[in-house]
Amino acid sequence: MEFGKVQEDEILSVNFSLPNDGSITSKILEKSEENKKVKFYVGCGTWGQKSWTKHLYNKGTKTSDFLKMYLTQFNSIELNAMFYSLPDRDRVIGWKKLAIENSKSNFLFCPRLPQLISHVLKLEDVNEIFQNFVDVVSNFGDNLGASFLQLGIFGPERLHILQDFVETVPSGFKLFVEVRSPEWFSNEKVKEEYFSVLSRNNIGAVITDTSGRRDLIHMNLTIPECFIRFVGNGGKYVESDFRRIDDWVIRIQEWVNRGIEKVYFFVHEHGERNTPILANYVIQQFNALLEANLPELTFIEK
Amino acid sequence: MQPFDIEVLIRGKKEVLLVIPDHESHKFMVFDGDIYLGTVLPMLEEEGVKWTSDKLMADELLAQIGDKIENHET
């Protein structure tokens, strides 16, 4: 993931501390049911990188087998592949079958809405296409996790369009939204309106933690679930990535104590080479501090 | 989406290529300086996103370009 990447010499000057919770978070968690078993999902944004055949997948693993291998290790995926085009029903059913056959748990696919909806039509006149998306991904059945919509060049002047769109989302269809224009976060009133629209419609707000866009860590939970996209710097900054994950685990622990119901944590790294190492650290910390009981990844012994 | 640079390895040497996206047609034009290398297109297949090109391109380079575009877009 290149978004939010900063030059190496700037990394040390980034303030990685997590801000306090946004105002809506307390209201949402207050209403949440207590003692509900929290579900944790940790994954990556891709099921295969050639570089993973050096530590996670066996050398010589064919790209056509990457999904099968991924399913044996993780319990969810940020399904970015759908950004380019919508697969047909049979392909989704095929992926679901692979998940049932290969996953140790109830694997969740978290599809990204196609660029036709988010980037080309920018949510205008998308009812039919969106309904088609919902119909197709519904074939994942129990293996369907939250979907997410990422809006690039889409500023607060289009809030009414976003509002119209989220009002069409079928009840029971879980969706998170990520807006990226800085104007959403630089004005308190705009921010409040944005999160209020999402919350009223039972839509989640993606939180993206990346070096170059600290404003995206808004800490507003608009539903009692979180969808975190964590972007590590990797390389010689991997220790700093681990400390950032530690901070996240402490914050999620607070949310767990206050009634959060589901945690999606997707790990990225610029270049994606060592993403599994970061993801495994997340799993270890979730198990140690949050009793997540997730299977750790199995790396190839050297 | 604005044009953007990607860094790839060509014969072991780092090269910076320019990518010009056309989201409406889901295609990306790729240039090495002034030289047009081809237009690449993501296809969603059973094994995930597979990249194709309208010009003859080494599989390894095409895969690198595809990975870099995907990384840029997420």
Domain spans in chain A, listed from the N-terminal domain onward: 8-290
CA of residue A269 relative to chain centroid, distance? 13
Q: What is the pLDDT of residue A51?
A: 84
Positions of chain A with pLDDT under 50: none
C-alpha A97/C-alpha A100 separation (Å) is 5
Work out how many domains chain B is built from and give that number. 1
Residue in chain B lying closest to A65 (CA): B47
H or E segment at B65?
helix B59-73
Q: Give A133: exposed, middle or buried? Use CB within 10 Å, 0-12, 13-18, 19+.
A: buried
Question: Taking a C-beta distance cutoff of 8 angstroms, is the pair A258, A38 a contact?
Answer: no
Q: What is the pLDDT of residue B1?
A: 66
Assign residue A117 a region (left: φ > 0; alpha: ψ between -120 and 50; beta: otherwise). Answer: alpha
CATH superfamily, with its number, for domain A8-290: Protein of unknown function UPF0759 (3.20.20.410)
ipTM of predicted assembly, 2 dp:
0.79
User: A164 Cβ partners below 8 Å, 6+ apart?
Assistant: A123
User: Looking at chain A from residue 141 to 170, which residues have their Cβ under 8 Å from any Cβ of chain B?
Assistant: 152-153
H-type helices in chain A, by residue range?
8-11, 23-31, 66-73, 89-102, 115, 127-137, 159-166, 183-186, 188-200, 238-258, 275-290
C-alpha B74/C-alpha B58 separation (Å) is 25
Q: pLDDT truncated to tens, each residue of chain B (74 aa)?
A: 689 999 998 888 899 999 999 877 889 999 999 999 999 999 888 878 889 999 999 988 998 999 888 888 77
H-type helices in A36-142, by residue range?
66-73, 89-102, 115, 127-137
- Reference A43, options A274, A225, A283, A221; nearest CA is A283
User: Looking at chain B from residue 4 to 63, which residues have their Cβ under 8 Å from any Cβ of chain A?
Assistant: 23-24, 26, 42-44, 46-49, 63
Question: φ, ψ for residue A202 (rounded to 5)?
Answer: 60, 40
For residue A49, list chain B residues with Cβ-Cβ distance below 8 A: 67
H or E segment at B70?
helix B59-73
For residue B1, list chain A residues with Cβ-Cβ distance below 8 A: 119, 152-153
Q: What is the pLDDT of residue A102?
A: 96
Q: Residue B23 is nearest to which of A45, A78, A115, comparing CB atoms?
A: A115
A2 DSSP 8-state letter: -
Question: φ, ψ for residue A25 (rounded to 5)?
Answer: -60, -45
- Tokens for A243, please give them: 């400390």
Q: Does A19 touch chain B (CB under 8 A)?
A: no
C-alpha A117/C-alpha A114 separation (Å) is 6
Question: Taking a C-beta distance cutoff of 8 angstroms, is the pair A72, A104 a contact?
Answer: yes
Q: What is the pLDDT of residue A283?
A: 98
Q: What is the pLDDT of residue A256?
A: 95
Which residue range(s) make up the domain with B65? Answer: 4-73
Residue in chain B lying closest to A271 (CA): B71
- Reference A252, options A230, A274, A237; nearest CA is A230
- Tokens for A247, please give them: 């901070």
SS3 call for A231: strand
Q: Give A79: exposed, middle or buried? Use CB within 10 Å, 0-12, 13-18, 19+.
A: buried
C-alpha A69/C-alpha A46 separation (Å) is 12
